[in-house]
Structure 1
Amino acid sequence: MPAAAASSGLSRTIYNTFFRKNSVFVTTIFVSAIGFNMGFDTLTDKIWDDANKGKQWKDIKHKFEQ
């Protein structure tokens, strides 16, 4: 029973903080989406750069500049 009470308290706190007012709910969604987008873009760019190291212009342009 104590675990259920703690879970209920946590659920109530989350609800009262993020979902009770529509303006806060929508703001939470937008901030979360933007944060996820930035993190995902950074991660995929890092993976792409690691997989193609030495093949991209930023890696070889020093060979062609005088």
Structure 2
Amino acid sequence: MVRTPATQPVRFSCRKLIAHVRSLSPTLSTGKLPRRQTNDVDSHPNTRLYSTLFRKNYTMLATVFAAGFAWEIGFNSTMDKIWDSNNRGRQWKDIRNKYVEGGEDEE
């Protein structure tokens, strides 16, 4: 028995309660997902991006691997440029000609 704020007892039968819960969720009553309604949101670029790249597992996996590979290449090349600019004149490639005579012909 459930009491309302007016302290009047309200009785629910199991059938009424189940029918009420099913009416709240279309998935429970029919066993199927509700049909997708098309509206202006479907033409949004993020929706197209999601449906193209992230909807299926294999496309999401390929997208994540490709993005990780591209990020690694970009990050490494940027950090190498920063490192070289900060350490110019102190690396072996910069001071090699001072210590090696004759260039590449050491054999």
Give the TM-score normalised by the residue count of structure 1.
0.84
Give the structure 1 partner of residue 70 of structure 2: 35
Task: Tell me which amino acid in the other structure corresponds to 2:54.
Answer: F
Cα distance in 1 for partners of 2:47, 2:76 equals 33
**What SS class does the counterpart of residue 54 from structure 1 fall into?**
coil
For the residues of structure 1 that align with 2:71 and 2:47, how far apart are their CA atoms?
A: 25
TM-score by length of 2: 0.54
Q: Is the 8 A contact 2:42 2:48 kept in 1?
A: no
Moved over 6 A (4+): none
Q: In the aligned structure 2, how far is the partner of 1:60 from the partner of 1:15?
A: 51
Return 5+ residue gaps in structure 2 as ranges: 1-39, 102-107
Question: Number of residues paired by the alignment?
Answer: 62
1:24 is aligned, of 59, 72, 83, to 59
Rg larger in structure: 2
Partner of 1:62: 97
1:52 paired residue among 38, 63, 87: 87
Residue-by-residue CA offset, 1:1-44 (whole Å, 9 max, x unaligned): xxxx4685212201111011110000000000011011000000
Distance, in Å, in 2 between the alignment partners of 1:46 and 1:7 is 42
Give the alignment's Cα RMSD to 1 decimal. 1.6
Unpaired segments ≥5 residues, structure 1: none
Q: Is the 8 A contact 2:53 2:59 kept in 1?
A: yes
Query: Percent same amino acid at aligned positions?
Result: 39
